[in-house]
Amino acid sequence: MILITGVSSDVGQEVAQQLQERGHRIRVVSRNPGEWPTDVEVVAGDLTDPAVMHKALLGVKKAFLIAVPGDESFPAVARTLGVEHLVFLSSSAVELGADNPITRMHSRMEEMIRQSGIPSTILRPGPFMSNALHWADTIRSERRVRAPYGDAGLVPIDPRDIAAVAVQSLVSSGHEGRIYTLTGPELLTPADQVRMIAEVLQQSIDFDNIPESVAMEEMRRYMPEEKVDAVLRVRRAATVQQTIRNTVMEVTGRAARTFRQFVEDHIDAFR
């Protein structure tokens, strides 16, 4: 039995779907797990509740963890209940030394995993390509994107590729004790990404490189202030030179998807 947490997220949902497609028995846990096929075990609840955590982990041999505040005991409980391998979705911001609540949460969980002694694989992806979906509203309504750090080179990764690495780490041997830093295959600025969306749409889209203070005000409309501050700090830290990694190919045997592929697969969101 494989447990997947955070199935309401892009990566968690994709991990569960890929495992199910490959014929593995899975159990999913989330505060809002949604609808799943009858052969998928579902635990609805908060992992910060010890009873929910125990129920979710009982009988599980491998687990995929997306951290939430307050679930730091997960690795130790998993080890006690006989989980043999834990795959944790961390962040490359840990390596950049970004100081914000999100990065501190990931760093703390990595440390708790080390202290528990449970065999583990740590995934540290860079920026998600799906972050571009936050631009969809203004692309549809104004054919315009407003974003900070427009000339900062990033190496975004498709969440489906993160999930593929997680799945391969869960179902094959040799990944215990490894830390995988994950990126897409190309260096792109936000302005580059917008140009690519425009090309796929075959329509012009204006890009406004706005100050961080303006971006903060706009982002507060759709996310909590603490998360806004954390996201902008991560983006600020990511403005240093990025390195393209070939980890997706090395682990899965398949090249990481390009940003154009991501846009083509999600083009309806921008129309």
To 10 degrees, the CA torsion angle through 120, 235, 139, 187? Answer: -70
Q: Residues, the chain, total?
A: 271
Between CA 127 and CA 131, with CA 130 as vertex, the angle to 5 degrees is 60
User: Coil, helix or strand for 87?
Assistant: strand
Looking at residue 200, its amino acid is V
**pLDDT of 96-154, one tens digit each?**
766 777 788 899 999 999 999 999 999 999 889 999 998 999 999 999 998 887 888 88
Average pLDDT value for the chain? 90
Proportion of the chain above pLDDT 90, given as a percent: 66
Between CA 270 and CA 101, with CA 242 as vertex, the angle to 5 degrees is 75
Neighbours of 216 (CB within 10 A): 16
Q: What is the mean pLDDT of residues 59-88?
A: 93
Q: How confident is the model at residue 233 (pLDDT cuts 50, 70, 90)?
A: low
Question: Which letter does DSSP use for residue 121 in this model?
Answer: E
Confidence (pLDDT) at 255: 97
Cα gap 98→211, rounded to integer Å: 20
Question: What is the token pair recorded at 100?
Answer: 């914000």
Q: What is the mean pLDDT of residues 192-201?
A: 96
Confidence (pLDDT) at 100: 72
Delineate the domains of the chain, giving CATH numbers in brackets: 2-125+159-182+244-256 (3.40.50.720)
- Are the beta carbons of 32 and 55 closer than 8 angstroms? no
Confidence (pLDDT) at 98: 63
Nearest to 10 by CA among 162, 124, 146: 162
Contacts of residue 63, Cβ cutoff 8 Å, sequence gap at least 6: 2, 3, 4, 5, 57, 78, 83, 85, 86, 87
Proportion of the chain above pLDDT 70, given as a percent: 93
In the predicted model, is pLDDT for residue 18 greater than 60?
A: yes
Cα gap 75→80, rounded to integer Å: 9
pTM for the whole structure: 0.91
Identify how many contiguous H helices and E strands the chain contains and give both numbers.
Answer: 12, 9
Q: How confident is the model at residue 226 (pLDDT cuts 50, 70, 90)?
A: low
In the predicted model, is pLDDT for residue 241 greater than 60?
A: no
In the predicted model, is pLDDT for residue 198 greater than 70?
A: yes
Confidence (pLDDT) at 94: 86
**pLDDT of 19-63, one tens digit each?**
999 999 999 998 887 788 888 999 988 888 999 999 999 999 999
Q: How confident is the model at residue 181 (pLDDT cuts 50, 70, 90)?
A: very high
Cα gap 235→223, rounded to integer Å: 16
Confidence (pLDDT) at 206: 94
Per-residue burial over 22-34, b if 16 or more Cβ lie within 10 Å, else e, is: eeeebbbbbeebe
